Amino acid sequence: MAALFKARKVFASCANSCRRLSQLAELPETHQILRQTCRDYADRELSPIASRLDKEHSYPLKQIHELGAMGIMAIEVPEELGGAGMDYLAYSVAMEEISRGCASTGVVVSVNNSLYIGPILKFGTEEQKKEWITPFTTGEKVGCFALSEPGNGSDAGAASTMAHQEGEEWVLNGTKAWITNSWDASATVVFATTDKKLKHKGISAFLIPMPHPGLSLGKKEDKLGIKASSTANIILEDCRIPLSNMLGPRGAGFKIAMQTLDSGRIGIASQALGIAQASLDCAADYAHKRNAFGAPIGRLQAIQFKIADMAVAIESARLLTWKASLLRDAKKPFTKEAAMAKLAASEAATFCSHQAIQILGGMGYVTDMPAERHYRDARITEIYEGTSEIQRLVIAGQILKEYKQ
Amino acid sequence: MQIYKSGVVTDGVKHSMNPFCEIAVEEAVKLKEKKLIKEVVAVSCGPQQAQETIRTALAMGADRGIHVEVTGKDYEHLGPLQVSKIFAALAKKEEAQLVILGKQAIDDDCNQTGQMTAALLDWPQGTFASEVTLEGDKIKVVREIDGGLETIKINTPAVVTADLRLNTPRYATLPNIMKAKKKKIANMKPADLGVDVAPRLEVLKVEEPPQREAGVKVETVEDLVARLKDTGRI
């Protein structure tokens, strides 16, 4: 009897691995339908307005509400809390298609899903989940994630924002920088030092509603790209919140931030894939239509080599992103793969958007064509949620650890 | 997509729901949400890929699906008459009160299936619908016709075909896409319904339209008339 059970378990785990491996080759049917739905939405509702949103720096309010109604603002959140109850592979697929239409809308969706809801879902109490997640599943409210400071980005352990207890309240003081969604958010996850002597083990995470006394916003940054999403400082001056607003245990802030960013990297990798794919779409279409030397430029090897390199870069990064998602969904370690995905996808986005402008020539340099917007949007993907340099350190650290054993 | 002299090669070409049929599914789901109908059954005839289209309809809110499998040469020659026979047989089998479909398919632009289905069933039809209202056991249909809008009242059971302005189809929500996985799709063949799908039409040839030629500019109206006379146009 024991042998039979063991055989069944082995078969089940084989079947699971086969299912996961085949999911890399072709998405399961539900995910294909999801991809088509998101693609239709992006083509009809996002692509036509992306240029205007970029020029006017205007937040896609209506579209975020519509995406919320579709369940896309809270993909991983269980249905009881108001979410779509799907997996991270679904999130990655949805993010790529949305970002292909409009990269700014993509980052709003990603920050809400991975950076705001993510840590609360993983580390929050049941009451916190109901209070801080459920209203943020419909698109009517979005959240943000405040880790970086003017004095530290990559050096996250050096958080100088302080939190001390006064009676039944936490009091926070400090400034956070580069916070996406800040001007449109209704709540934020903030990281502050509660015990300076413990260094990075003395950082804790807090939930603050917005607006709130003691919390103010700096001016909106005038960015190179993703202009429709707001980025600003969050300034905390004697900002008081109830003790119950601490997220996770005291001192767990750094761990929470790092684990949250692991998942966030899959979201940003997917956004970068969307931008890269949009660049390839633009370039390949142009290659058919533009004539030079008596034929469409797609006939020239110089152009063909670029198209091939772009396609390979995108497909490899996509497979890495899907693999990271599948590992996360299987509750296996995925830190290395997520870092690889983010690194590969963001470098693919800057490469593809650069080459797309090159293929379009002069037309790539003007705002009549989307190539220049993709170029500007792509650039940030190599910087936020962990610079490419940090990703390389994470990957190397993981690999060297494997070899040490 | 390749065009051969005898037809269009569809291998590897992505199949997606006909836009007018999307509008039909949306109308059916809306009627169910208003509690005016009990159940929406989504039907498609074709090869394996047709299942994905049915699943999309389920994700939009249909209750169950029926896939009538038609493959290979049979599928290549499947036309409105054969599909109508299948739909008529299914409508009788399922005891449907309303058959709603797109006014025409955008691949062949035939605009015949709805009409033929109604004729085979001897049911009234409301085609090119831009508005559908259920009134007891009758249906009021506002039809888009060349002269404007025509309103008719027809008895049920009936066939309605959807035109562009009937509604705006919804995007499937993620929870509904997940729920669609659990909804049933029944499989059957035309023979199970007693339908013979042998073609009654033979495609003689398929050609691309002639290459557009360069135009000619003229200076005066007299020149224009002279040219038109020369080339035998007038």
Tokens 């009990």 — which residue? B38
List all residues of chain A from 83 to 122 with a beta carbon under 8 Å from chain B: 84-86, 90, 94
Q: Are B163 and B20 in contact (CB under 8 A)?
A: yes
Could you read off the pLDDT of A271-302 as tens digits, one per residue?
A: 999 999 999 999 999 999 999 999 999 999 99
Structural domain boundaries in chain B: 19-231
Nearest residue of B to residue A74 by CA position?
B174
**What would the DSSP string read from start to end of A267-283?**
HHHHHHHHHHHHHHHHH
Other C-beta atoms lying within 10 Å of the C-beta of residue A16: 11
Could you read off the pLDDT of A4-63 as tens digits, one per residue?
A: 545 455 555 545 555 566 667 789 888 998 999 999 999 999 999 999 999 999 999 999
Q: pLDDT at position B12, please?
A: 62
Residues of B within 8 A of A36 (CB-CB) are: 16, 56
Active site residue A385: yes
Q: Are A92 and A100 in contact (CB under 8 A)?
A: no
Residue to mutate among A29, A30, A33, A72, with most B CBs inside 10 A, is A33
Q: Are A244 and A165 in contact (CB under 8 A)?
A: no
Do residue A33 and residue B175 have CB atoms under 8 angstroms apart? no
Q: pLDDT at position A5, please?
A: 47
Cα B231 to Cα A127: distance, rounded to the nearest angstrom: 83
Band (pLDDT 50/70/90 cuts) for residue A95 is very high
Active-site annotation holder among A45, A385, A389, A402: A385
Residue to mutate among B168, B171, B173, with most A CBs inside 10 A, is B171
Q: pLDDT at position B116, please?
A: 95
Q: pLDDT at position A200, please?
A: 87
Could you read off the pLDDT of A357-403 as tens digits, one per residue?
A: 999 999 999 999 999 999 999 999 999 999 999 999 999 999 999 99
The average pLDDT across A198-221 equals 96
Nearest residue of B to residue A69 by CA position?
B173
pLDDT value at A130 more than 50: yes
The ipTM estimated for the assembled molecules is: 0.71
Nearest residue of B to residue A138 by CA position?
B173
Whole-structure pTM value: 0.85
Cα A70 to Cα A84: distance, rounded to the nearest angstrom: 8
Rounded to the nearest integer, the mean pLDDT of chain A is: 93
Cα A209 to Cα A346: distance, rounded to the nearest angstrom: 32
Residues of B within 8 A of A41 (CB-CB) are: 171
List all residues of chain A from 7 to 66 with a beta carbon under 8 Å from chain B: 29-30, 32-34, 36-37, 40-41, 66
Print pLDDT tens along chain B (234 aa).
Answer: 444 555 566 666 667 889 999 999 999 999 999 999 999 999 999 998 888 899 999 999 999 999 999 998 888 888 899 999 999 999 999 999 999 999 999 888 899 999 999 999 999 999 999 999 999 899 999 999 999 999 999 999 999 999 999 999 999 888 888 889 889 999 999 999 999 888 888 888 888 888 888 888 889 999 999 989 988 888
Band (pLDDT 50/70/90 cuts) for residue A267 is very high
* A115: exposed, middle or buried (Cβ count in 10 Å: 0-12, 13-18, 19+): buried
Residues of B within 8 A of A75 (CB-CB) are: 174
Q: pLDDT at position B213, please?
A: 84
From the list A354, A357, A378, the residue with the least C-alpha distance to A367 is: A357
Residue to mutate among A26, A70, A86, A113, with most B CBs inside 10 A, is A70
Q: Are A101 and A53 in contact (CB under 8 A)?
A: no
The CATH fold assigned to B19-231 is: Rossmann fold (3.40.50)
Cα A40 to Cα A100: distance, rounded to the nearest angstrom: 11
Could you read off the pLDDT of A134-184 as tens digits, one per residue?
A: 999 999 999 999 999 999 888 888 889 999 999 999 999 999 999 999 999
